[in-house]
C-alpha cells in the first residue's frame, strides 16, 4: 500500500472534498518522489575520455619503460584493464579522431580521411548521440582537429570548456556526462633540454632500432618523455576532480593516444610505432581491475562501447565493435579479435599536386602486411617543400628529423635515412616474431608466400566489405578533397 491503513471515522459535513484533495495531493507528492528517485538512480555510467596527442606504445611505466614515469596511466591500468594490442585507425590526428568519434573506418569518412579537412555532418558522432539521450557533453583542449567545421556548428567532440571543473558545474549530480579531455602533449615542438632538466638521464634512453643513436636523438626522446609525463600529470588532476565529485565509481575512464610519436618512420606511418597505442580503461562499478587483455582492439571500438554502456544501440554503419564484453567478463574470448586494419591518406600537404600517400595494412599477431598504393611517391613527403611544413614534411620537425635528413649520407646515419625518407615498394611484409621493429621487408621471400597470400586476401576483403573507394578503383578521390586551413576552425 502507498499509505498505512487508518481506522475509519465518519467525516464531518463538508470534509469529504478536503479529504479527497489531501489524498490526491499526497499521492501526487509520492509519485513525484518515485519519479525523482528513479531519475536520481540513473544507472548509466559517465564517460571520461583522456586522449594524448602523439603518444606511442610502449612508453609507459606499466608497459615496462624504465625511464618514463606515468603514475596516472599505471594507476588506471592497475585499477582497470590494460590493453596490449590497441591500435589507432590512422596515424594522423584528424582522421584518427574522426574514427574515434564516428566508430567508422577512416576511408568511409570522405574528406575526414585527411588531415586538415572537414568531417561531413552526415557522419554521426557519439557525443551528439549521448547528448540526445540525456548526457551532459563537453570537451577541453584539442577535440576533433585540425580542420574546419564546414556545416557543423560546433566541434564534433561537443561544446568546449576551459576545464573539467567548469564542465562539472553544468552537469546536475543525477545526470551522466561524457567528457573529452584532449591534451596537446606530447605533440611537438618541445623545449630542448626539458627532459634532462626534469632529472631523466640521457644514458638511460633506449633508442629504437629505426633511429640513429646520437646525443641529439637521445635528448629529443627525453623531451618527448617530459611531454608525455605532463599529459599524465594533467590527466591525474582531472581524475582527482572526478573522485572529489563522488562520481568515480560509475565513470568509464579511458586513457589513450590518437597516433604515434612525432619521430621519423613513426607518426604518419602504418608501422607499429605509428599505430600501436597505449590503452587503459577503468570502470570500478562494473569492471574488475588488475587485468591485461591481449585481444586486438581498435579506436573505432570506442564509440560503440560508449553507446552500449549508455543503453543505446551502436549505429549500423559503425565498423568498430563494443568492448563491453571484454571489459565486463574477465573470461571473455573473442576469436575475431585476432587482427586490426590500418590506413592513411593525406597527412600534411607536402607533395606536388596536393597528393597524399595512401596505404592500407593488416596487423596480426605474427605479421604486418602493408600495401603502399602509390609507391611512386615519397612516403615522408617530397624532398623539396611543396606548400606546408618543409622538405619531407610528413615528419614533424625536431632534432631527430634534422639528424636523419641533414646527415643522411654519413655512414652511421644513411641506413636510418633510407628507412624514413626513401620510396617504398608496393607491398611490405614483416615477420614480427623475428623482426619486431619492422625493418626487413620479406614480401618476396618464398617461405612467406602462404602468409602473404592470406594477408592480401584478408585486406582485400576488408576494403571491399567496408566500402573503401580504393577497392573499387577510385584512386584519386582523397587527393581531390581540399586541404582546409580557413579561419572557421573547431
Average pLDDT, integer, range 326-346: 94
Average pLDDT, integer, range 228-256: 98
Cβ contacts of 380 within 8 Å, gap of 6 or more:
264, 268, 350, 392, 393, 394, 395, 420, 421
3-state secondary structure of 373: coil
pLDDT of residue 476: 87
What does the pLDDT read at residue 490? 65
Could you count the other beta carbons within 10 Å of the beta carbon of residue 128? 16
Measured CA to CA, the distance from residue 54 to residue 46 in angstroms comes to: 26
Identify the weakest region by mean pLDDT among 42-46, 49-53, 141-145, 254-258.
42-46
- How does residue 34 score in pLDDT terms, banded at 50, 70 and 90? very low
pLDDT band for position 2 (50/70/90)? very low
pLDDT in tens, 435-483: 999 999 999 999 999 999 999 999 999 999 999 999 988 778 999 999 9
pLDDT of residue 226: 98
In this predicted structure, what is the pLDDT of residue 333? 84
Q: Mapping DSSP to helix (H, G, I), strand (E, B) and coil, where does residue 78 land?
A: helix
Supply the angle between the helices 215-244 and 399-406 in degrees, to the nearest 10: 150
For residues 72 and 4, the model is more confident at: 72
Residues 306-324 have a mean pLDDT of 98
Q: What's the CATH number for 43-338?
A: 3.40.720.10
Query: What band does 37 get if pLDDT is binned at 50, 70 and 90?
Result: very low
Average pLDDT for residues 203-228, to the nearest whole number? 98
Checking if the pLDDT of 11 tops 80, the result is no
What sign does the CA torsion over 97, 484, 480, 368 have? negative
What is d(CA 373, CA 144) in angstroms, rounded to the nearest whole number? 27
User: What per-residue confidence (pLDDT) applies to 486?
Assistant: 64
Alpha carbons 337 and 292: distance in angstroms, whole number: 15
Residue 331: per-residue pLDDT:
85
pLDDT over 60 (residue 33): no
Helix (H, G, I), strand (E, B) or coil at 371: strand
The predicted-structure confidence for 400-422, as pLDDT tens digits, reads as follows: 999 999 999 999 999 999 999 99
Q: Which residues contact 465 (CB under 8 A, 6 or more apart)?
A: none
pLDDT exceeds 90 at position 41: no
Q: Is residue 148 pLDDT above 50, yes or no?
A: yes
Strand-pair category, 46-52 with 177-182? parallel
Please report, for the chain, the start and end positions of each structural domain, with discontinuous segments joined by +: 43-338, 344-480
pLDDT at 164: 98
Res. 29: pLDDT tops 80:
no
In angstroms, how far is CA 291 from the centroid of its own chain? 21
Q: What is the DSSP letter of 419?
A: H
pLDDT confidence of 30, banded at 50, 70, 90? very low
Question: Where do the H-state alpha helices sit in 245-312?
Answer: 272-275, 302-309
Percentage of the chain with pLDDT > 90?
Answer: 87
- Please state the length of the chain: 490
What is the pLDDT, as a whole number, of residue 454? 98
Mean pLDDT (the chain, rounded): 92
Q: What are residue 256's DSSP bridge partners?
A: 51, 279
What strands lie across the sheet with 367-372, from one edge to the other? 339-344, 359-364, 367-372, 427-431
- pLDDT band per the 50, 70, 90 thresholds, residue 330: confident
Q: What secondary structure letter does DSSP report for 50?
A: E
Sheet of 136-141: strand order equals 136-141, 177-182, 46-52, 251-257, 276-282, 81-87, 291-298
Tell me: the pLDDT tens digits for 175-199?
999 999 999 999 999 999 999 999 9
pLDDT at 481: 96
Note the pLDDT of residue 489.
Answer: 59
Q: Which pLDDT does position 362 carry in this prediction? A: 99
Split at pLDDT 50, 70, 90, the class of 3 is: very low
Confidence band (pLDDT; 50, 70, 90) for 388? confident
Q: Is the pLDDT of residue 40 over 70?
A: no
- pLDDT, residue 488, reads 59
Per-residue pLDDT band for 332 (boundaries 50, 70, 90) equals confident
Residue 249's alpha-carbon distances to 57, 241, 246, 363, in angstroms, are 27, 13, 8, 35
The pLDDT score that the predictor gives to residue 389 is: 87
Amino acid at each position: 500500500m502507498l499509505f498505512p491503513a487508518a481506522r475509519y471515522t465518519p467525516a464531518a459535513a463538508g470534509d469529504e472534498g478536503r479529504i479527497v484533495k489531501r489524498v490526491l495531493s499526497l499521492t501526487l507528492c509520492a509519485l513525484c518522489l518515485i519519479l525523482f528517485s528513479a531519475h536520481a538512480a540513473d544507472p548509466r555510467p559517465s564517460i571520461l575520455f583522456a586522449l594524448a596527442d602523439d603518444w606511442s606504445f610502449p612508453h609507459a611505466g606499466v608497459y615496462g619503460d624504465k625511464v618514463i614515469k606515468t603514475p596516472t596511466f599505471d594507476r588506471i591500468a592497475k585499477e582497470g584493464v590494460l590493453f596490449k594490442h590497441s591500435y589507432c585507425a590512422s596515424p594522423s590526428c584528424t582522421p584518427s579522431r574522426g574514427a574515434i568519434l564516428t566508430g567508422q573506418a577512416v576511408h568511409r569518412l570522405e574528406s575526414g580521411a585527411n588531415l586538415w579537412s572537414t568531417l561531413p555532418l552526415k557522419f554521426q558522432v557519439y557525443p551528439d548521440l549521448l547528448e540526445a539521450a540525456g548526457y551532459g557533453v563537453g570537451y577541453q583542449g584539442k577535440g576533433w582537429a585540425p580542420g574546419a567545421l564546414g556545416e557543423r556548428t560546433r566541434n564534433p567532440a561537443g561544446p568546449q570548456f576551459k576545464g573539467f571543473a567548469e564542465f562539472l558545474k553544468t552537469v546536475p549530480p543525477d545526470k551522466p556526462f561524457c567528457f573529452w579531455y584532449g591534451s596537446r602533449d606530447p605533440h611537438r615542438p618541445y623545449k630542448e633540454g626539458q627532459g634532462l632538466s626534469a632529472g631523466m638521464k640521457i644514458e638511460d634512453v633506449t633508442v629504437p632500432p629505426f633511429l640513429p643513436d646520437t646525443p641529439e636523438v637521445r635528448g629529443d626522446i627525453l623531451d618527448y618523455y617530459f611531454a608525455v609525463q605532463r599529459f599524465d600529470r594533467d590527466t591525474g588532476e582531472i581524475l582527482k576532480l572526478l573522485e572529489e565529485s563522488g562520481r568515480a565509481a560509475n565513470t568509464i575512464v579511458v586513457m589513450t593516444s590518437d597516433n604515434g610519436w612525432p619521430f621519423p618512420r613513426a607518426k604518419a606511418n602504418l608501422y607499429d610505432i605509428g599505430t600501436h597505442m597505449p590503452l587503459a580503461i577503468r570502470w570500478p562499478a562494473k569492471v574488475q581491475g588488475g587485468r591485461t587483455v591481449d585481444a586486438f582492439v581498435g579506436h573505432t571500438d570506442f564509440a560503440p562501447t560508449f553507446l552500449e554502456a549508455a543503453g543505446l544501440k551502436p549505429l549500423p554503419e559503425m565498423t568498430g565493435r563494443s568492448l563491453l564484453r571484454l571489459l565486463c567478463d574477465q573470461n571473455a574470448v573473442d576469436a575475431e579479435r585476432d587482427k586490426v586494419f590500418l590506413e592513411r591518406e593525406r597527412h600534411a600537404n607536402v607533395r606536388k599536386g596536393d597528393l597524399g600517400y595512401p596505404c592500407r595494412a593488416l596487423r596480426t599477431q605474427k605479421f604486418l602486411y602493408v600495401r603502399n598504393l602509390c609507391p611512386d611517391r615519397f612516403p615522408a613527403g617530397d624532398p623539396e617543400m611543396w606548400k606546408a611544413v618543409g622538405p619531407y614534411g610528413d615528419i614533424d620537425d625536431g632534432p631527430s628529423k634534422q639528424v636523419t635528413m641533414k646527415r643522411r649520407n654519413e655512414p652511421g646515419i644513411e641506413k636510418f635515412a633510407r628507412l624514413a625518407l626513401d620510396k617504398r615498394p608496393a607491398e611490405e611484409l614483416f615477420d614480427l616474431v623475428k623482426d619486431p621493429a619492422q625493418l626487413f621487408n620479406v614480401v618476396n621471400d618464398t617461405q612467406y608466400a602462404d602468409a602473404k597470400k592470406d594477408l592480401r586476401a584478408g585486406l582485400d576483403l576488408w576494403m571491399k566489405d567496408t566500402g573503401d573507394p580504393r577497392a573499387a578503383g577510385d584512386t584519386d578521390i582523397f587527393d581531390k578533397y581540399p586541404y582546409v586551413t580557413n579561419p572557421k576552425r573547431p
